[in-house]
Each structure stands twice: as C-alpha cells, then as structure tokens.
Amino acid sequence: MKLKRFYAKHADLNVTGTIGVLIKAKREGIIKELKPLLIELTSKDVWNSDKLISDILSQIGEK
C-alpha cells in the first residue's frame, strides 16, 4: 500500500487515508458517528493511538 501512495503523490494526486475519508463522510452527514468506526478499525488490527482517536473525535465534535 505504501507504494501506491508513493506513486500517487509523485503523480501530483491528492492522497487521503481511511481516516480522512471517514472524517469527510461524517462532515457531509453520510455517517452519523465516527467513534464506532474508529473502534472497529482498531479491533481489526489497524493501529490508531488513543491520542489520535481522541484528537479526531474532538476535531469533529464527538466524545
């Protein structure tokens, strides 16, 4: 996956990760809550620090 990101950046494409897509979906009202999805990602071995999750939730107005 890192190689895909490398080529995308070198092709001057915008790169958005999974969390970025979820934040955008929350802001656009596509999803109601982000917290359960972040917890599910973590339970499926996608590493996110507690601080990162806390910061994201604070940024979008969730607790």
**Residues, the chain, total?**
63
Q: How many whole angstroms separate alpha carbon 33 and alpha carbon 35?
A: 6
Range of the domain at 53: 2-60
Question: What is the tens place of the pLDDT at every residue in 2-47?
Answer: 788 888 888 998 888 889 999 999 999 999 999 999 999 988 888 8
From CA 55, how far away is CA 49, in angstroms rounded?
10
* Number of domains, the chain: 1
Tally of CB atoms within 10 A around 58:
10
Instruction: Name the pLDDT band for 1 (thresholds 50, 70, 90).
Output: low
